[in-house]
Amino acid sequence: MAFYEREIDVMIDVAALQRKVRELGAQITRDYAGRELTLVGVLKGSIFFLTDLAQAIDLPVRIELMGVSSYLGGNETTGEVRITHDVSTPMGGRHLLLVEDIVDTGLTMQFLLDNLSARQPASLKVCVLLEKPSRTKCKVTIDYKGFTIEDRFVVGYGLDYSEKYRNLPFVGLMKTGE
Ligand code: IMP
Ligand code: MG
């Protein structure tokens, strides 16, 4: 039995994730045809999604990473965000696609959009794997979305609980009450 099977139930399996990533990649390929695209992944949660998505896009793609963290830890997002890792090349004039694991309250995404748009990119859009619309405090436009989920804490495929479970190849739910 795999180590996580006692603790996690599968919510979105490997096949469904891969199918969705291919769909998103095909759509992005069509939408950005003839342009150079820069994917800006948000550390650490987006890295599995980012690498799969990048390989599903049939265009010249640059990859940049930003790290952000809320001032207080835990499951709840507090509203205050700071940059812990910045991109390594200038963003001005580039077509940027921000790639994030999940939009929960939307505060992290809003912070990143404000920050990146101040650098005057040619365009700035958003691709997220998961959205929890019931929790949204800050409405951000999501241009490319994988799945809409209910308000449950999920892990895997990059998403963590106290830095654990990121390496699960699927998105799962933490079992509760045991
Ligand atoms: P937001 O600022 O509330 O939209 O959420 C920002 C961050 O909270 C996400 O990028 C995730 O890192 C984390 N987060 C929100 N919901 C979950 C979840 O269900 N599982 C794991 N991380 C989550
Ligand atoms: Mg994150």
How much distance in Å is there from the Cα of 25 to the middle of ligand 1? 23
Ligand in closest contact with the CA of 73: 1
> What's the pLDDT tens digit per position in 87-118?
999 999 999 999 999 999 899 999 999 999 99
Ion ligand 2, residues whose Cβ is below 5 A away? 45, 101
How much distance in Å is there from the Cα of 104 to the middle of ligand 1? 5
Strand stretches in the chain, DSSP E: 8-12, 37-43, 61-70, 81-85, 95-103, 123-131, 144-148, 154-155, 171-174
Q: What pLDDT score was predicted for residue 6?
A: 84
DSSP 161: B
Q: What pLDDT score was predicted for residue 134?
A: 83
104 is catalytic: yes
> What's the pLDDT tens digit per position in 77-89?
556 789 999 999 9
How much distance in Å is there from the Cα of 33 to the middle of ligand 1? 31
- Mean pLDDT for back-to-back runs of 10 residues, the chain (178 residues): 85 98 98 98 97 98 93 58 94 98 92 97 98 84 97 96 95 81
Q: What pLDDT score was predicted for residue 139?
A: 83
